[in-house]
């Protein structure tokens, strides 16, 4: 039976799995219910090995092919965690937990990889082994880093890793990918400004931290506009300003700014970090204040290796048709902690269309279940193409 037809038959069952996960969202590493369901299903499918608790709450299933002489091991990764957002879809399978929802499609990613695992464990039409990787804490917790640091890739002998993420706005059945940087590094910035608080009617007796913060926020916008090469990409966004107090007539002693920096290369990342440090220090001193900068590098750039990106695009074209694959999609300034796995092994992340839906991280978003046969077919075809039976 052709792969696409097989997943058409499995579509209703996989949809049920997806909607159950959607209704019971879990955050960060606290994905015990989801991970438990994943492990239970992998064992029921007949996976040769199922390991739990990798990278704290990650799950890996190993499926050996009909033949194993090639010695090849390919890793396929899905993420399991949700977001701290109040859902506003009104759907029958909407979140049952207030303040938590699957607003990025990780429920769909998990369900599609489970569907592919079921098919691969049943058919085993490949020479080698596939590790299906279910990761926690993609949304800011660095679960990918934790699984790599836990020795997951070495333990299962993974030689290449592939990831997939849904993309709202791209039609269902289409794919998008590029070699090289696909998604940005995500760094955290926190600036604590200390001045001299006092009565708002006596500003000459104070060092006004809100004024310092305002100048600092404005000056930081010059980093991208006047420091970074216009042909490069960078984002500096200060997204939070918090003062020590909320009285209308008190100049606060301290102000804290928080934000994010996004870059697509290490060179630009270094340049931006250095420039931010200079602006923070000099602006504070110009007003007689003090400032402490914490610049934390979080997720690295998601970089697709050239050969693996071309291979993934070819597989997608074999599933959807050549005209349905954008092989040079523009990089996104969002971040992905699949980047940690790509730093450790060659591989590629690909986007699959979610259709005309709300954007990810929006309270009205829902993963499009029509994507399921497409995504499952891509995973299965990738394994059978990468490790053909001779």
Summarised one tens digit per residue, pLDDT across range 217-243 is 999 999 999 999 999 999 999 999 999
- In the chain the first and final C-alpha atoms are separated, in Å, by 19
Predicted pLDDT of residue 245: 80
Was 139 annotated as part of a binding site? yes
> What does the pLDDT look like over 263-305, one tens digit per residue?
999 999 999 999 999 999 999 999 999 999 999 999 999 999 9
Predicted pLDDT of residue 4: 66
Q: Phi first, then psi: give them for residue 231, nearest 5 degrees.
A: -85, -5
Was 102 annotated as part of a binding site? no
SS3 category, 273: helix
Was 215 annotated as part of a binding site? no
Task: Kindly tell me if the per-residue pLDDT of 178 is higher than 60.
Answer: yes
CB 83 within 8 A of CB 361: yes
Query: Whole-model pTM?
Result: 0.93
State the Cα–Cα distance between residues 124 and 134, nearest whole angstrom.
Answer: 20
Predicted pLDDT of residue 244: 84
Q: 10 Å Cβ neighbour count for 260?
A: 17
Was 361 annotated as part of a binding site? yes
State the Cα–Cα distance between residues 263 and 185, nearest whole angstrom.
Answer: 5
């Amino acid at each position: 039976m052709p792969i696409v037809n097989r997943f058409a038959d499995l579509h209703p069952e996989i949809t049920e799995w997806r909607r159950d996960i959607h209704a019971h969202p879990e955050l960060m590493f606290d994905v015990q219910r989801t991970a438990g369901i994943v492990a239970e299903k992998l064992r029921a499918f007949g996976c040769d090995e199922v390991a739990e608790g990798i990278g704290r709450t990650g799950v890996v299933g190993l499926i050996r092919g009909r033949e194993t002489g090639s010695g090849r091991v390919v890793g396929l990764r899905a993420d399991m965690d949700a977001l701290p957002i109040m859902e506003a879809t009104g759907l029958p399978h909407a979140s049952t937990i207030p303040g938590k929802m699957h607003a990025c499609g990780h429920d769909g990613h998990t369900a599609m990889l489970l569907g592919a695992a079921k098919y691969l464990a049943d058919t085993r039409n490949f020479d080698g082994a596939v590790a299906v990787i279910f990761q926690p804490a993609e949304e800011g917790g660095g679960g990918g880093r934790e699984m790599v640091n836990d020795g997951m890739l070495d333990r299962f002998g993974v030689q290449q890793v592939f990831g997939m993420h849904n993309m709202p706005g791209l039609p269902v059945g289409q794919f998008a990918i590029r070699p090289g940087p696909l998604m940005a590094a995500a760094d955290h910035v926190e600036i604590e400004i200390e001045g001299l608080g006092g009565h708002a009617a006596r500003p000459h007796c104070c060092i006004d931290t809100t004024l310092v913060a305002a100048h600092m926020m404005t000056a930081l916008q010059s980093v991208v506009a006047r420091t970074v090469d216009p042909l490069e990409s960078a984002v500096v966004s200060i997204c939070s300003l918090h003062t020590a107090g909320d009285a209308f007539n008190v100049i606060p002693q301290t102000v804290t700014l928080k934000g994010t920096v996004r870059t697509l290369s290490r060179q630009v990342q270094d340049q931006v970090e250095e420039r931010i440090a200079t602006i923070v220090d000099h602006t504070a001193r110009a007003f007689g204040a003090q400032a402490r900068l914490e610049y934390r590098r979080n997720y690295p750039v998601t970089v697709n290796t050239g050969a693996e990106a071309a291979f993934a695009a070819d597989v997608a074209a074999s599933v959807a048709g050549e005209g349905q694959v954008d092989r040079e999609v523009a990089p996104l300034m969002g971040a992905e902690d699949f980047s940690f796995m790509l730093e450790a092994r060659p591989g590629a992340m690909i986007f699959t269309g979610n259709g005309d839906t709300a954007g990810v991280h929006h309270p009205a978003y829902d993963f499009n279940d029509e994507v399921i046969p497409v995504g499952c077919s891509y995973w299965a075809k990738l394994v059978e193409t990468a490790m053909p039976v001779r």
